[in-house]
A and B are shown apart, each in its own frame.
Chain A
Amino acid sequence: AQSVTQLGSHVSVSEGALVLLRCNYSSSVPPYLFWYVQYPNQGLQLLLKYTSAATLVKGINGFEAEFKKSETSFHLTKPSAHMSDAAEYFCAVSKNTGNQFYFGTGTSLTVIP
């Protein structure tokens, strides 16, 4: 069985501060991992994905995530938060067949001016 766990349903950071959103996965086989972002009243859009090519993955808008197999983690970071980063962030996992994607429960990011 596969699943993802996102620690912290709400995260608040000051503008300019480091953003760290946590995601841990459980998978019996090497997974594919994704981070999606949902802005208010919009659908989800891809931030970045891990497909085993490199453990440090860079995405859009300055976000990046590092795959750590020993910790079964795929945490999302951004060095300096911007007001426009306020959104809901979802971690997701799929397996090689791509039949299903499993989403975490989401983390709502608030950026304080």
Chain B
Amino acid sequence: DADVTQTPRNRITKTGKRIMLECSQTKGHDRMYWYRQDPGLGLRLIYYSFDVKDINKGEISDGYSVSRQAQAKFSLSLESAIPNQTALYFCATSQGTGGANVLTFGAGSRLTVL
């Protein structure tokens, strides 16, 4: 099994629908992140969490919410999806403090909003 598992891997939905992307990890890492990847824009941080009681907004949090249900689980929700949220979403984890920490990524969840 992968260290960081994202479900679903692909999802097509309609404008206005609520969508949840789930992430679970077996690394035992305390930090979890949600990124969005768009062509030509690289990866942009949506939300991050340093532990179960800690949630922080990233640079593009508008239109998204998250829940850290357990140390190993971090879900991303789109309450009312819109077409410009069509993107590839990545969950990532890291351990400990310090900027030298390495991110471990899931395989990605491709979301299409029609």
**Chain A contact residues, CB within 8 Å of chain B:** 9, 31-32, 34, 36, 41-46, 49, 51, 90, 94-101, 103-106
Contact = CB atoms under 8 A, between A and B. Distances in A.
Given A34-B102, A98-B98, A43 B43 contact: no
B90 A43 contact: yes
Band of interface residues on B: 20 to 34
Interface of B: 4, 33, 35, 40-45, 48, 56, 58, 90, 92, 94, 96-103, 105-108
A105 B4 contact: no
A51 B100 contact: yes
Nearest to B35: A103
5 contacts: A45-B105, A46-B102, A90-B42, A99-B56, A106-B40
Contacts of B99: 31-32, 94-98
B108 A105 contact: no
B105 A43 contact: yes
B31 to A, nearest CB: 8
A43 B97 contact: no
A105 B97 contact: no
A25 to B, nearest CB: 12
